[in-house]
Amino acid sequence: MHYQQTTIILQQLQDALKELSLWQPEQPSPEALQSTQPFAVDTLDFHQWLQFIMIPRMQNMVDKQQPLPTSIAISPMAVQVYKDSLDTHHELIRILRKLDILLSDQDPLAGDQDLGDDSR
């Protein structure tokens, strides 16, 4: 499994969210965290989903050495969410793309001319 690399990427993700001033000190309501929609689009902003759902769940899997997902594609959602500010969010997208490639062994953004192929 890719536990060590995943931990590094999760830390990079946290750092990128903080650098963009998207890291929040207070957790959303318990109701907001109970969303059943993909990326909790009905109750959270994308960066909130990353901080309060995705990162903790992934870190928990790593800590317990549980099987990690083998088919994920988070970076395309980030591209969609930040389509009007790709330059500002490029590093965040690059980190998510790295995680996608590590765990899925494929690049969900392959061929996306706007982002280049510098993710590895």
The pLDDT > 90 percentage for the chain reads: 90
Q: Looking at the predicted structure, is the pLDDT value of residue 117 above 60?
A: no
At 119 the three-state DSSP class reads coil
Closest to 82 measured CA to CA, from 50, 119, 117, 43: 50
For 12, counting Cβ atoms within 10 Å of its Cβ (0-12 exposed, 13-18 middle, 19+ buried), the class is: middle
Q: Give 47-88 pLDDT, tens digit per residue.
A: 999 999 999 999 999 999 999 999 999 999 999 999 999 999
Q: How many residues does the chain have?
A: 120
pLDDT of residue 120: 42
- The rounded distance, in Å, linking the Cα atoms of 53 and 24 is 13
CATH number of the structural domain spanning residue 20: 1.20.1440.40
Question: Who wins on pLDDT, 120 or 10?
Answer: 10
Q: Is residue 74 part of a domain?
A: yes
Q: Is residue 34 part of a domain?
A: no
Q: Looking at the predicted structure, is the pLDDT value of residue 116 above 90?
A: no
Torsion sign, CA atoms 50, 93, 103, 2: negative
* Number of domains composing the chain: 1
pLDDT of residue 112: 73
Q: Is residue 115 part of a domain?
A: no
- Quick one: DSSP state of residue 40? G
Containing domain of residue 20, as a range?
3-24+40-104
Closest to 66 measured CA to CA, from 9, 6, 1, 10: 1
Q: Looking at the predicted structure, is the pLDDT value of residue 13 above 60?
A: yes
